[in-house]
């Protein structure tokens, strides 16, 4: 459907890449820092790139006041250059140019949190992807790499700490109570990795010995009063440094590595060279404010940013279409880091399952909607809209497939070759693939389609057993749905890790015609490359149950018809823990989908004992890691169930899922109570894998128990809330209480607990975010309640964490309330997207995506959603960010 009221903004095309007309060798910057008005002096030594078709010297700038411009010492007049919107062009410039540019900027007016901005009186930068152009005119593109020297000057009282990339080479006092610090980054870098921080901060620091024996200074900088929350980030940083040395032979290349935490940040964190800047959410932790999930998040984000030092900074992207080159690879690396730290087989599987859950719930959904794009997109309007789960998480899956195809050592060889070839360069996804192909001698030509084709492939399975010949055939057929701009897809190169189970659930040795070298193995990676392919297995004594796509070896949907009994066998026995979990999810989804349909016809709901008993056995299986049992007992989310329907009924899905949860509790109450009691973690809080696993199972048990509660189970939650010695247990109890539908007296008690929680933690922003989040996602919270919470003095739209905690959580994680039949949820959404658009386009565009899948809802809801989308689209001064998202949604 076309919508004429929306003008799709101008897209940038990958095919139109032109090398820069000029390179920049060195950049010397001088900052006179001040919240209201900062002066930026920039001296660039530039040299013509004779290989480029671009003959002009082209710079980008945004929201800058140009004070002065000199070329080779001569002040340029208006007629010597052209400014057209955000482009400054100098024609007929000589081959060797020294450009000196002075600009004036206003950090305190910058609410976009991109460029140089103010945060609680401190000055912070965020330059990826195109924020450097808000600081000075510059060829702000990642293929222009230069050496930076940065002089920072500011009032010493207001800005006692002055940080930038690289090494501190000089510092001292100036007149009028001012001081300076001079920084030099020894490595060439693209402008998006530039950073500075100025303000009142304190740090935890430590000298750390690197593999080579060299010592590096590690610092974690936070606001005053937060030094009791930096230890975990510091520990995570040290583990990251060690891990990259050991797993990839990559050492820290700087003498100083700094992390700075700020409460005003658009995303998770940023890998600026030597000066990583983080959202406080991914730095600050101690047992009283952070949950186990927060601890794990910090470890993985600290790792992620640190790992970028090699995958992103030393080797960077030629252009932003290659974003997944650094992001997909670095997510893969942080996933492996977290898995290696746990170490055990089930521990690794737990991590894998958690990652795949996100991929399926968010990325598969993106792939099926109007914003679907390949891992290496062909076009974009606003690059900030392409920091997506497809670029990050699907990108990581693509890297993981090389790992699966080439093996542990083969992958390492490929990485080594990649660095050998491209250290210090800005390259493309194809260069990474070439390194993997050339180091292994494998033909990875077809593998390229994982980068160029969007959409989630489907693999369907048909099997045939021949008892007489003792052969078992597995026929795999692949397809991929159309996505915007891509009608037809070609077959992908899909690694399918698999095994075959006998009637006892044991793996049988595999003798596949196509893989003679692996004869007798019980685990095999078969490669699907054609549209349809049959794999024959010999010496199969009785009809087996196939276990396919083990460890989720490819980001595809596997269509396979299992009976409940076959799934039960896999659920109880598969040697691959991922597929054990997967079998359970299939059993649950099957029932949840059926119950949702039953609800729509008004018949009575019921749940079979067979399923409940399978869950009981797992819950009580002491040989299984409690973290794994927690996953096995967690039902697919409402969003996940919705994916099984062509037309989504969020209320019915919610009711069906609640029915299943309540029924499970009704039958397993004693078992759940037993699990609750036997998985306590008394004593000092410890965020290690074993304690976290216990808490996760215990708190899952608690949340189930309150689905079919009596006085005693309610009191159990209330007691846990009151007496919890850590935030994990306190928040879990409060969530259970908040979601509980009890007597009036109990409701009152729950409300009192919420108030208490607020009072106790009102000085901790990250905990208040949790307080909003809990309420935003509670089933009892409707649109009216959200509006009421927005009036709370602690609420503000200008802080992204706070906006996300209430607004994003309501729109994205409370489907049965957000999709209210009267469209009031969508009206609220439109108001907020429009309000955020003025404050912070990046954040606004993220919220705008909540209506991406509007075509999947009943026509009544669709009409309301379309109106809301049109309202946003018709807004004056709509940012490119929001315009791209809503125009693509409306075009669906």
In whole angstroms, the minimum distance from the beta carbon of 660 to ligand TRP comes to 37
299 binds ligand TRP (CB under 6 A): no
Q: Token pair for residue 53? A: 């078709």
Q: Token pair for residue 11? A: 């897209």
List the one residue from 88, 118, 267, 672 that touches ligand TRP (CB under 6 A). 267
Which residue matches tokens 């077959």? 491
Q: Token pair for residue 500? A: 């075959």
In whole angstroms, the minimum distance from the beta carbon of 395 to ligand TRP comes to 11
Query: CA 537 from chain center: how many Å?
Result: 39
Q: Which is nearer to ligand TRP, 305 or 638 (CB)?
A: 305
- Give the nearest residue (CB) to ligand TRP: 267
Please report, for residues 57, 742, 749, 754, the alpha-carbon distance to residue 745 in angstroms, rounded to integers and kept in the order given: 72, 8, 6, 15
845 binds ligand TRP (CB under 6 A): no
What DSSP string runs through 715-767? HHHHHHHHH-SSHHHHHHHHHHHHH----HHHHHHHHHHHHHHHHHTTT-HHH
Q: Which is nearer to Zn ion, 334 or 366 (CB)?
A: 334
327 binds ligand TRP (CB under 6 A): yes
In terms of C-beta density within 10 A (0-12 exposed, 13-18 middle, 19 or more buried), how is residue 236 classed? buried
Q: Which is nearer to ligand TRP, 304 or 866 (CB)?
A: 304
Which range, of 261-269, 370-378, 412-420, 646-654, touches ligand TRP by CB under 6 A? Answer: 261-269
In whole angstroms, the minimum distance from the beta carbon of 327 to Zn ion comes to 5
Please report, for residues 41, 549, 620, 621, 642, the alpha-carbon distance to residue 664 in angstroms, rounded to integers and kept in the order given: 66, 29, 14, 17, 21
126 binds ligand TRP (CB under 6 A): yes
Residue 332 binding: pick among ligand TRP, Zn ion, none (C-beta 5-8 Å cut-off by kind): none
In whole angstroms, the minimum distance from the beta carbon of 119 to ligand TRP comes to 13
Q: Which is nearer to ligand TRP, 707 or 769 (CB)?
A: 769
Query: CA 483 from chain center: how many Å?
Result: 22
Please report, for residues 44, 301, 303, the alpha-carbon distance to residue 271 in angstroms, rounded to integers and kept in the order given: 23, 10, 10
Q: Which is nearer to ligand TRP, 305 or 852 (CB)?
A: 305
- DSSP one-letter code for 10: P
Residue 269 binding: pick among ligand TRP, Zn ion, none (C-beta 5-8 Å cut-off by kind): ligand TRP
In whole angstroms, the minimum distance from the beta carbon of 167 to Zn ion comes to 24
Q: Which is nearer to Zn ion, 384 or 665 (CB)?
A: 384
In whole angstroms, the minimum distance from the beta carbon of 369 to Zn ion comes to 23
Contact string (CB under 5 A) for Zn ion, positions 270-309, x = contact: ----------------------------------------
DSSP run (H or E) holding 768: helix 765-777
In whole angstroms, the minimum distance from the beta carbon of 266 to ligand TRP comes to 4
DSSP run (H or E) holding 254: none
In whole angstroms, the minimum distance from the beta carbon of 326 to ligand TRP comes to 8
Q: Which is nearer to Zn ion, 226 or 272 (CB)?
A: 272
CA dist., res. 550 & res. 578, Å (int)? 7
Q: Which is nearer to Zn ion, 327 or 671 (CB)?
A: 327
List the one residue from 64, 269, 391, 524 that touches ligand TRP (CB under 6 A). 269
Closest-CA residue to 377 (of 449, 434, 451): 451
Residue 126 binding: pick among Zn ion, ligand TRP, none (C-beta 5-8 Å cut-off by kind): ligand TRP
Contact string (CB under 6 A) for ligand TRP, positions 128-157, x = contact: xx----------------------------
Q: Which is nearer to ligand TRP, 363 or 691 (CB)?
A: 363
Which residue matches tokens 């989310």? 637
Helix, strand, coil percentages for the chain (3-state, nearest 5): 45, 20, 35
336 binds ligand TRP (CB under 6 A): no
Beta carbons within 8 Å of 831's beta carbon, 6+ residues apart: none
Q: Among 62, 130, 305, 327, which one carries the catalytic annotation?
A: 305
In whole angstroms, the minimum distance from the beta carbon of 146 to ligand TRP comes to 19
Which residue matches tokens 């010493």? 156
236 binds ligand TRP (CB under 6 A): no
- DSSP one-letter code for 9: P
DSSP, collapsed to helix, strand or coil, labels residue 453 as coil
691 binds ligand TRP (CB under 6 A): no
Subset of 317-346 contacting Zn ion (CB under 5 A): 327, 330
Say if CB 307 and CB 330 are below 8 A apart. Answer: yes
Which range, of 174-182, 265-273, 667-675, 879-887, touches ligand TRP by CB under 6 A? Answer: 265-273
Q: Which is nearer to ligand TRP, 327 or 367 (CB)?
A: 327
Q: Which is nearer to ligand TRP, 192 or 571 (CB)?
A: 192
Which residue matches tokens 């084709």? 453
In whole angstroms, the minimum distance from the beta carbon of 125 to Zn ion comes to 17
In whole angstroms, the minimum distance from the beta carbon of 221 to ligand TRP comes to 17
Q: Token pair for residue 723? A: 């007496």
Three state DSSP letters for 651-678: HHHHHHHHHHHHHHHHHHHHHHHHHHHH
List the one residue from 223, 305, 334, 671 that touches ligand TRP (CB under 6 A). 305
In whole angstroms, the minimum distance from the beta carbon of 316 to ligand TRP comes to 11
List the one residue from 271, 334, 574, 852 that touches ligand TRP (CB under 6 A). 271
Q: Which is nearer to ligand TRP, 223 or 305 (CB)?
A: 305
Which range, of 95-103, 236-244, 269-277, 284-292, touches ligand TRP by CB under 6 A? Answer: 269-277
CA dist., res. 322 & res. 433, Å (int)? 12
Closest-CA residue to 316 (of 199, 239, 418, 214): 418
Which residue matches tokens 């509006």? 787
Closest-CA residue to 181 (of 196, 167, 171): 171
Annotation marks residue 96 as catalytic: no
CA dist., res. 267 & res. 843, Å (int)? 9
Say if CB 776 and CB 814 are below 8 A apart. Answer: yes
DSSP, collapsed to helix, strand or coil, labels residue 233 as helix
In terms of C-beta density within 10 A (0-12 exposed, 13-18 middle, 19 or more buried), how is residue 869 classed? buried
Residue 852 binding: pick among Zn ion, ligand TRP, none (C-beta 5-8 Å cut-off by kind): none
33 binds ligand TRP (CB under 6 A): no
Subset of 814-853 contacting Zn ion (CB under 5 A): none
Please report, for residues 384, 478, 580, 769, 827, the alpha-carbon distance to residue 484 in angstroms, rounded to integers and kept in the order given: 19, 20, 35, 36, 27
62 binds ligand TRP (CB under 6 A): no
CA dist., res. 337 & res. 236, Å (int)? 10
Closest-CA residue to 592 (of 610, 583, 605, 579): 605
Residue 638 binding: pick among ligand TRP, Zn ion, none (C-beta 5-8 Å cut-off by kind): none
270 binds ligand TRP (CB under 6 A): yes
For ligand TRP (CB under 6 A), the number of binding residues is 12
Chain residues that interact with ligand TRP, rule: CB under 6 A: 126, 128-129, 266-267, 269-271, 304-305, 327, 387
Active site (catalytic) residues = 305
Chain residues that interact with Zn ion, rule: CB under 5 A: 327, 330
């Amino acid at each position: 459907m076309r919508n004429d009221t929306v003008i799709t903004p101008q897209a940038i095309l990958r095919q139109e890449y032109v090398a820069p007309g000029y390179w920049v060798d060195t950049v010397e910057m001088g900052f006179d820092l001040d919240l209201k008005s900062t002066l930026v002096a920039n001296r660039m030594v530039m040299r013509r790139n004779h290989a480029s078709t671009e003959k002009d010297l082209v710079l980008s700038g945004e929201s800058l006041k140009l004070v002065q411009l000199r070329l080779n010492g001569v002040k340029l007049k208006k007629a010597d250059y052209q400014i057209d919107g955000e482009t400054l062009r100098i024609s007929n410039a000589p081959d060797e140019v020294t450009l000196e540019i002075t600009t004036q900027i206003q950090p305190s007016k910058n609410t976009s949190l991109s460029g140089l901005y103010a945060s609680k009186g401190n000055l912070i930068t965020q330059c990826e992807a195109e924020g450097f152009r808000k600081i000075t005119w510059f060829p702000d593109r990642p293929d222009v790499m230069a050496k930076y020297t940065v002089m920072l000057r500011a009032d010493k009282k207001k800005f006692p700490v002055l940080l930038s990339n690289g090494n501190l080479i000089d510092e001292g006092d100036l007149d009028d109570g001012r001081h300076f610090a001079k920084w030099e980054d020894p490595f060439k870098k693209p402008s998006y990795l530039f950073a500075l921080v100025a303000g009142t901060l304190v740090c935890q620091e430590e000298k750390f010995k690197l593999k080579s024996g060299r010592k590096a200074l590690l610092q974690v900088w936070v606001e005053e009063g937060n030094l009791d929350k930096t230890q975990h980030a510091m520990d995570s940083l040290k583990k990251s440094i060690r891990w990259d040395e050991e797993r990839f032979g990559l050492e820290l290349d700087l003498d100083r590595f700094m992390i700075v935490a700020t409460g005003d940040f658009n995303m998770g964190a940023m890998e600026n060279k030597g000066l990583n800047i983080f959202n406080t959410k991914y730095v600050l932790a101690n047992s009283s404010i952070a949950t186990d999930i927060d601890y794990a998040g910090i470890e993985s984000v600290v790792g992620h940013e640190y790992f970028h030092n090699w995958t992103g900074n030393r080797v960077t992207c030629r252009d932003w279409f290659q974003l997944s080159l650094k992001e997909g690879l670095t997510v893969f690396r942080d996933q492996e880091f977290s898995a290696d730290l746990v170490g055990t087989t089930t521990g690794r599987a737990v991590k894998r399952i958690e990652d795949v859950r996100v991929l399926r719930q968010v990325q598969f959904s993106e792939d099926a909607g109007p914003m679907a794009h390949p891992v290496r997109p062909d076009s974009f309007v606003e690059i900030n809209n392409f920091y997506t789960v497809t670029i990050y998480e699907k990108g990581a899956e693509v890297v993981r497939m090389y790992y699966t195809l080439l093996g542990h050592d083969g992958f390492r060889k490929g990485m080594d070759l990649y660095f050998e070839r491209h250290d210090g360069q800005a390259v493309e996804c194809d260069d990474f693939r070439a390194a993997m192909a050339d180091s292994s001698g494998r033909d990875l030509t077809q593998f390229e389609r994982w980068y160029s084709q969007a959409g989630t492939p489907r693999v369907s399975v048909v099997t045939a057993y021949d008892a007489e010949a003792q052969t078992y055939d597995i026929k795999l057929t692949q397809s991929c749905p159309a996505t915007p701009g891509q009608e037809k897809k070609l077959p992908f190169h899909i690694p399918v890790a698999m095994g075959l189970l006998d009637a006892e659930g044991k793996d049988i040795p595999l003798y596949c015609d196509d893989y003679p070298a692996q004869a007798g193995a019980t685990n095999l990676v078969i490669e699907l490359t054609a549209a349809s392919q049959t794999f024959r297995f010999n010496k199969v004594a009785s009809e087996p149950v196939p276990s396919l796509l083990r460890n989720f070896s490819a980001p595809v949907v596997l269509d396979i018809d299992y009976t409940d009994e076959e799934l039960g066998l896999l659920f109880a026995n598969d040697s691959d823990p991922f597929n054990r979990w997967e079998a359970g999810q299939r059993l649950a989804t099957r029932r949840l989908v059926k119950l949702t349909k039953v609800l729509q016809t008004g018949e009575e709901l019921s749940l079979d004992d067979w399923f409940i008993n399978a869950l009981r056995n797992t819950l009580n299986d002491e040989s299984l890691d409690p973290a794994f049992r927690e996953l096995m007992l967690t039902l697919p989310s409402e969003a996940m169930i919705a994916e099984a329907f062509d037309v989504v009924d969020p209320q019915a899905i919610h009711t069906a899922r609640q029915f299943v949860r309540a029924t499970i509790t009704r039958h397993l109450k004693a078992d759940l109570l037993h699990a609750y009691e036997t998985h306590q973690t008394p004593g000092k809080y410890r965020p290690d894998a074993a304690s976290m696993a216990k808490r996760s199972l215990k708190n899952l048990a608690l949340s189930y128990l309150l689905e079919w509660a009596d006085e005693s189970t309610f009191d159990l939650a209330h007691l846990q809330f009151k007496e919890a010695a850590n935030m994990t247990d306190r928040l879990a109890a409060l969530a259970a209480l908040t979601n509980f539908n009890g007597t009036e007296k109990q409701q009152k008690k729950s409300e009192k607990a919420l108030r208490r929680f607020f009072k106790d933690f009102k000085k901790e922003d990250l905990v208040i975010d949790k307080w909003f989040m809990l309420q935003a996602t509670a089933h009892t919270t409707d649109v009216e309640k959200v509006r009421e919470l927005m009036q709370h003095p602690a609420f503000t739209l200008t802080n992204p964490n706070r906006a996300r905690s209430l607004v994003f959580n309501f729109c994205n994680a409370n489907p049965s309330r957000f999709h209210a039949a009267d469209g009031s949820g969508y009206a609220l959404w439109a108001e907020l997207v429009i309000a955020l658009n003025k404050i912070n386009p990046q954040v606004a565009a993220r919220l705008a995506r909540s209506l991406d899948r509007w075509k999947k809802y009943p026509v009544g809801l669709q009409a309301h959603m379309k109106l809301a989308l049109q309202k946003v689209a018709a807004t004056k001064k709509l940012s490119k960010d929001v315009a791209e998202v809503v125009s693509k949604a409306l075009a669906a």
